[in-house]
């Protein structure tokens, strides 16, 4: 089977299938190669079957099924007897593929002489396709051009072409007499208007350009041809060409007219320029008479001195001049006079001709203008004639015209309605297609974003894989560097030692925790006892402080002792180590959230309106607190703050009386000093609350003796006992 597969694959390559070199058996053929091989074989066996089929397998599923089905039908039409369908090409087995390809290879043409003349591979397939196309065109019968159908016109017709009809064109020239330049400047018609028909302008331009290009190429070939001196200037070449032309003319005359027998001729020498003009040796631009390139090359092969050539021409002219007598001289003079008169008349005729040409161009321009005006007048005349025909029966004609106008209007309206009926579905379809396009664009954008994200994840995964591979390599290297003779018992012993050390450390930590708990219980008991003692002492001294000066001083000392014995902040606290210099902080007022949510909720807004910055917070002590906030905090950190030694407890008269009655005023009085925020505490009367004073000095503003009587009555004291004077009162202190 391997040999059969090799022969089969070799035959497919010769048929034009691009089978890769690594494919050595039918099992390795992909569906794309199977389809391409089948199409190539069909085109080689029967071009009419294989020409419509594509050798490339399309990417779409439906297109693949369609191509495979057409291939199966073509194989059945070719005579394949086995089961063949689209699955034979798309999902085929090795046995079915080999059987089908063997059938197609056997059907290939066996004419070795014909096949040997064609190159193998893609070039051979191209030649075969060209031959099949030519055979198809040759098999089509010839039909006269006027009887051809559109398909035949596309195949062999020339109905869309125009005949190549040219005409001579007069092109402007840079040199020449002034009259000619004047003619080219104003009287000469433009090039597109010179041909008699509008369709002849392109052929005429192409013909003129081809003639100029051919003359240019001929001149360049003649100037640079063999036998000429290298790098010969064009002017010198033209001069030599003219002299050689004169010499050829004189040689022709010498051969035609033998020399005169009576001695040397008499009279003036013959002018070579007259000979040149008489025999046409030199024309406009110095062109030679027509002749083959070989003849011109032979005449120009041997270079001679121009002076020598001129002497030869003079000698030939002298030998050709006949002797002149008196009668011949008079006749020559008469002929010269007649010639001069004819030349003068010729010049006058040329002048009249130029004037006539200018007049003719002007008349032609006027005729064209008149024809344009005549066309407009003819249109106006036809319109007026039709109006004149309608005048005898004006009313009926107007009614008919009105009917025509109305019918035209109705037709326009109906056409507009038809257009709207056609336009509505088309517009809806357009909007639907645009919506589909927008959705497709959004879907493509989403998929593009997903693809980019997936690409980023794949790159990250690849980077992680590389990192883990490098780590794996390091671990492998470390593993290789570890000693191999260490037994498991050593590691077990080491683990047991570590476990024992951990157990000992755990026991020591447990003992430390037990001691810490005992100390904490003792500290809590002492702190509780101290607080209870302070409370009892404070109550006892406060009762007697208003009657005894010594007890009052003792109460002050107790408060100072309680303040000084407050727990000190721990050392090393970063918040306690903050230092703010002048210009590095802002003073901000912090208000408790109850001030904004309570009955006096407009107080923060009132303070802000007066330029006082206010921050709402949950304050543990007091209602208002001033803090120093850092202006430029470190990057990535919130601004740090320092609480100032000013705490405000806002009290109204009723609230102050209630707090004194239920005993809350003592906590509010001592709390700021114990909270670590400062020692200042005060009260503002019915308006704002408390402000100012110290922990040892506190007072109330805005309350007169009458307002305080109810409170003092509740406490069992009088306003005079609290030192109320002039509407203001001083408290303890």
Chain segment 445-454, per-residue pLDDT in tens: 999 999 999 9
Q: What pLDDT shows up at residue 438?
A: 94
Q: Categorise residue 674: left if φ over 0, alpha if ψ from -120 to 50, beta otherwise.
A: alpha
Shared-domain flag, residues 653 and 706:
yes
Q: What pLDDT shows up at residue 308?
A: 59
Is the pLDDT score of 115 beyond 60?
A: no
How many percent of the chain have pLDDT more than 70? 72
Contact in structure between 630 and 580 (CB atoms under 8 Å): yes
Name the residue with tokens 């002017």.
235
Shared-domain flag, residues 503 and 444:
no
Read off the pLDDT of residues 51-94 as tens digits, 9 standing for 90 and up: 788 888 888 888 888 888 888 888 888 888 777 887 788 887 88
Model confidence at 637, pLDDT cuts 50, 70, 90, reads: confident
Q: How far apart are CA 490 and CA 708, in angstroms?
A: 88
| Position with higher pLDDT, 508 vs 182 | 508
Give, as one character, the DSSP assignment of residue 690: B
Is the pLDDT score of 186 beyond 70?
A: yes
| Position with higher pLDDT, 126 vs 262 | 126
The mean pLDDT value for 631-647 works out to: 79
Shared-domain flag, residues 359 and 465:
no
Model confidence at 708, pLDDT cuts 50, 70, 90, reads: very low
Please check whether residue 224 lies inside any domain of the structure: no
Model confidence at 314, pLDDT cuts 50, 70, 90, reads: low
Contact in structure between 18 and 12 (CB atoms under 8 Å): no
Is the pLDDT score of 598 beyond 80?
A: no
Q: What pLDDT shows up at residue 184?
A: 81
The mean pLDDT value for 582-593 works out to: 82
Q: What pLDDT shows up at residue 276?
A: 47
Contacts of 682 (CB under 8 A, 6+ apart): 648, 649, 690, 691, 692, 693, 698, 699
The mean pLDDT value for 243-269 works out to: 63
Model confidence at 518, pLDDT cuts 50, 70, 90, reads: very high
Give the C-alpha distances (Å, rounded to integers) separating 335 from 267, 339, 340, 506.
Answer: 17, 6, 8, 153
Is the pLDDT score of 278 beyond 50?
A: no
Contact in structure between 625 and 619 (CB atoms under 8 Å): yes
* Domain end among 93, 108, 123: 108
Q: What pLDDT shows up at residue 497?
A: 92
Shared-domain flag, residues 499 and 605:
no
Is the pLDDT score of 694 beyond 90?
A: no
The token pair at 671 is 């709390």
Contacts of 357 (CB under 8 A, 6+ apart): 183, 187
Q: What pLDDT shows up at residue 464?
A: 95
Q: What pLDDT shows up at residue 599?
A: 57
309-318, 325-334, 394-403, 591-600: segment of lowest average pLDDT: 309-318
Is the pLDDT score of 509 beyond 90?
A: yes
Is the pLDDT score of 717 beyond 50?
A: no
Q: Is 170 helix (H, G, I), strand (E, B) or coil?
A: coil
Please check whether residue 525 lies inside any domain of the structure: yes
Q: How far apart are CA 455 and CA 435, in angstroms?
A: 29
Average pLDDT, the chain: 74
Shared-domain flag, residues 253 and 338:
no
Model confidence at 117, pLDDT cuts 50, 70, 90, reads: very low
Model confidence at 309, pLDDT cuts 50, 70, 90, reads: low
Q: What is the pTM of this model?
A: 0.23
Q: What pLDDT shows up at residue 112?
A: 46
Strand duo 641-648 + 614-617: pairing = unpaired
Read off the pLDDT of residues 9-54 as tens digits, 9 standing for 90 and up: 888 888 888 888 888 888 888 888 888 888 888 888 888 777 788 8
Is the pLDDT score of 608 beyond 90?
A: no
Is the pLDDT score of 621 beyond 60?
A: yes
* Domain end among 565, 593, 623: 565
Name the residue with tokens 């017709």.
157
Contact in structure between 317 and 250 (CB atoms under 8 Å): yes
209-213, 251-255, 294-298, 401-405: segment of lowest average pLDDT: 294-298
Q: What pLDDT shows up at residue 713?
A: 36
Please check whether residue 460 lies inside any domain of the structure: yes
The mean pLDDT value for 551-574 works out to: 67
| Position with higher pLDDT, 95 vs 580 | 95
Domain total in the chain: 6
Q: How far apart are CA 289 and CA 287, in angstroms?
A: 7
Please check whether residue 134 lies inside any domain of the structure: no
Q: What pLDDT shows up at residue 121?
A: 63
532-546, 580-594, 690-704: segment of lowest average pLDDT: 690-704
Q: How far apart are CA 546 and CA 543, in angstroms?
A: 7
Please check whether residue 353 lies inside any domain of the structure: yes
Please check whether residue 422 lies inside any domain of the structure: yes
Shared-domain flag, residues 344 and 443:
no
Model confidence at 472, pLDDT cuts 50, 70, 90, reads: very high
Q: What pLDDT shows up at residue 506?
A: 92
Model confidence at 248, pLDDT cuts 50, 70, 90, reads: confident
Q: What pLDDT shows up at residue 466?
A: 95
Closest CA to 625 of 590, 651, 596, 593: 590
Q: What pLDDT shows up at residue 712?
A: 38
Q: What pLDDT shows up at residue 164?
A: 77
Q: Is 303 helix (H, G, I), strand (E, B) or coil?
A: coil
Shared-domain flag, residues 543 and 471:
no
Q: What pLDDT shows up at residue 307?
A: 61
Model confidence at 679, pLDDT cuts 50, 70, 90, reads: very low
Model confidence at 566, pLDDT cuts 50, 70, 90, reads: low
Read off the pLDDT of residues 341-358 as tens digits, 9 standing for 90 and up: 888 888 899 889 888 988
Q: How far apart are CA 515 and CA 509, in angstroms?
A: 10
Q: What pLDDT shows up at residue 588?
A: 85
Is the pLDDT score of 264 beyond 50?
A: no
Shared-domain flag, residues 601 and 726:
yes
Model confidence at 156, pLDDT cuts 50, 70, 90, reads: low
139-148, 470-479, 582-591, 612-621: segment of lowest average pLDDT: 139-148
Q: Is 708 helix (H, G, I), strand (E, B) or coil?
A: helix
| Position with higher pLDDT, 132 vs 457 | 457
Shared-domain flag, residues 598 and 703:
yes
The mean pLDDT value for 387-400 works out to: 82
The mean pLDDT value for 122-127 works out to: 77
Model confidence at 310, pLDDT cuts 50, 70, 90, reads: low
Read off the pLDDT of residues 414-439 as tens digits, 9 standing for 90 and up: 888 888 888 899 999 999 999 999 99
The mean pLDDT value for 501-526 works out to: 92
Can you give the CATH number for the domain in which 59 is found? 1.10.418
How many percent of the chain have pLDDT more than 90? 11
Q: How far apart are CA 145 and CA 470, in angstroms?
A: 81
Its domain, for residue 10, covers: 2-108
Is the pLDDT score of 719 beyond 60?
A: no
Shared-domain flag, residues 312 and 351:
no
The mean pLDDT value for 487-492 works out to: 83
116-125, 277-286, 307-316, 673-682: segment of lowest average pLDDT: 277-286
Please check whether residue 194 lies inside any domain of the structure: no
Shared-domain flag, residues 726 and 591:
yes
| Position with higher pLDDT, 434 vs 290 | 434
The mean pLDDT value for 691-710 works out to: 35
Please check whether residue 578 lies inside any domain of the structure: no
Query: Alpha helices of 192-304 — where are they, by DSSP H?
Result: 201-223, 234-256, 272-279, 293-299
Is the pLDDT score of 96 beyond 80?
A: yes
Shared-domain flag, residues 337 and 441:
no
Read off the pLDDT of residues 207-233 as tens digits, 9 standing for 90 and up: 999 999 988 888 887 776 555 554 567
Q: What pLDDT shows up at residue 474?
A: 94
∠15-16-18 over CA atoms, to 5°? 130
């Amino acid at each position: 089977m391997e040999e059969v597969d090799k022969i089969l694959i070799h035959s497919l390559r010769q048929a034009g299938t691009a089978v890769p070199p690594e494919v050595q058996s039918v099992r390795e053929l992909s569906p794309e190669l199977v389809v391409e091989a089948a199409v190539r074989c069909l085109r080689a066996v029967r071009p009419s079957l294989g020409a419509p089929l594509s050798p490339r397998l399309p990417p779409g599923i439906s297109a693949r099924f369609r191509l495979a089905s057409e291939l199966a039908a073509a194989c059945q039409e070719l005579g394949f007897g086995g089961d063949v369908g689209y699955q034979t090409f798309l999902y085929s087995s090795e046995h079915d593929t080999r059987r089908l390809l063997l059938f197609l290879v056997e059907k290939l043409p066996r004419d070795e002489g014909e096949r040997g003349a064609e190159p193998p591979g893609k070039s051979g397939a191209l030649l075969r396709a060209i031959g099949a196309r030519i055979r198809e065109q040759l098999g089509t019968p010839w039909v006269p051009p006027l009887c051809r159908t559109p398909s035949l016109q596309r195949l062999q017709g020339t109905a869309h072409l125009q005949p190549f009809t040219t005409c001579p064109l007069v092109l402007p020239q840079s040199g020449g007499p002034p009259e000619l330049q004047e003619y080219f400047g104003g009287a000469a018609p433009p090039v597109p208007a010179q041909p008699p028909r509008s369709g002849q302008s392109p052929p005429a331009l192409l013909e003129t350009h081809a003639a100029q290009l051919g003359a240019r190429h001929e001149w360049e070939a003649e100037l640079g041809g063999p036998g000429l001196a290298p790098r010969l200037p064009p002017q010198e070449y033209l001069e030599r060409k003219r002299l050689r032309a004169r010499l050829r003319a004189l040689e022709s005359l010498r051969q035609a007219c033998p020399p005169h027998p009576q001695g040397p001729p008499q009279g003036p020498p013959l002018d070579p320029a007259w000979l040149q003009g008489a025999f046409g040796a030199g024309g406009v631009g110095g062109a030679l008479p027509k002749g083959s390139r070989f003849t011109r090359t032979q005449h120009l092969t041997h270079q001679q001195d121009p002076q020598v050539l001129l002497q030869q021409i003079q000698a030939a002219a002298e030998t050709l001049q006949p002797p002149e007598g008196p009668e011949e001289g008079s006749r020559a003079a008469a002929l010269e006079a007649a010639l001069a008169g004819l030349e003068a008349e010729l010049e006058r005729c040329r002048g009249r001709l130029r004037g006539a040409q200018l007049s003719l161009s002007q008349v032609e321009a006027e005729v064209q203008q008149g024809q344009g005006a005549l066309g407009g007048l003819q249109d106006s005349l036809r319109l007026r004639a039709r109006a004149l025909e309608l005048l005898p029966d004006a009313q009926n004609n107007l009614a008919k015209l009105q009917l025509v106008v109305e019918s035209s209007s109705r037709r326009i309206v109906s056409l507009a309605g038809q257009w709207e009926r056609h336009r509505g579905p088309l517009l809806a379809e357009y909007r639907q297609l645009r919506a589909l396009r927008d959705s497709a664009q959004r879907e493509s954008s989403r998929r593009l974003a997903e693809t980019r994200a997936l690409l980023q994840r794949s790159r990250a995964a690849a980077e992680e894989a590389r990192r883990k591979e490098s780590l794996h390599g390091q671990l492998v290297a470390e593993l290789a560097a570890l000693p191999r003779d260490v037994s498991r018992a050593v590691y077990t012993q080491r683990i047991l030692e570590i476990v024992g050390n951990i157990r000992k450390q755990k026991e020591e930590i447990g003992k430390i925790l037990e001691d810490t708990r005992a100390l904490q219980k003792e500290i809590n008991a002492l702190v509780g006892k101290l607080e209870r003692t302070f409370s009892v002492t404070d109550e006892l001294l406060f009762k007697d402080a208003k009657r005894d000066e010594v007890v009052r001083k003792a109460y002050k000392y107790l408060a100072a002792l309680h303040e000084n014995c407050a727990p000190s902040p721990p050392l090393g606290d970063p918040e306690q180590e903050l230092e703010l210099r002048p210009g590095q902080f802002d003073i901000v007022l912090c208000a408790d959230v109850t001030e904004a949510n309570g009955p006096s909720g407009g107080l923060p807004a009132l303070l802000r309106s007066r330029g006082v910055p206010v921050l709402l917070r949950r304050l543990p002590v007091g209602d208002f607190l001033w803090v120093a906030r850092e202006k430029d905090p470190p990057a990535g950190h919130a601004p740090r703050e320092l609480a100032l030694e000013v705490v405000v407890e806002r009290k109204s008269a009723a609230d102050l009386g209630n707090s004194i009655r239920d005993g809350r005023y003592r906590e509010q009085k001592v709390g700021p000093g114990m909270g670590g925020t400062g020692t200042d505490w005060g009260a503002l009367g019915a308006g704002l609350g408390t402000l100012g004073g110290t922990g040892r000095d506190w007072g109330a503003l805005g309350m007169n003796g009458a307002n305080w009587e109810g409170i003092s009555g509740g406490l069992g004291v009088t306003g005079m006992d609290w030192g109320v004077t002039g509407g203001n009162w001083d408290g303890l202190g």
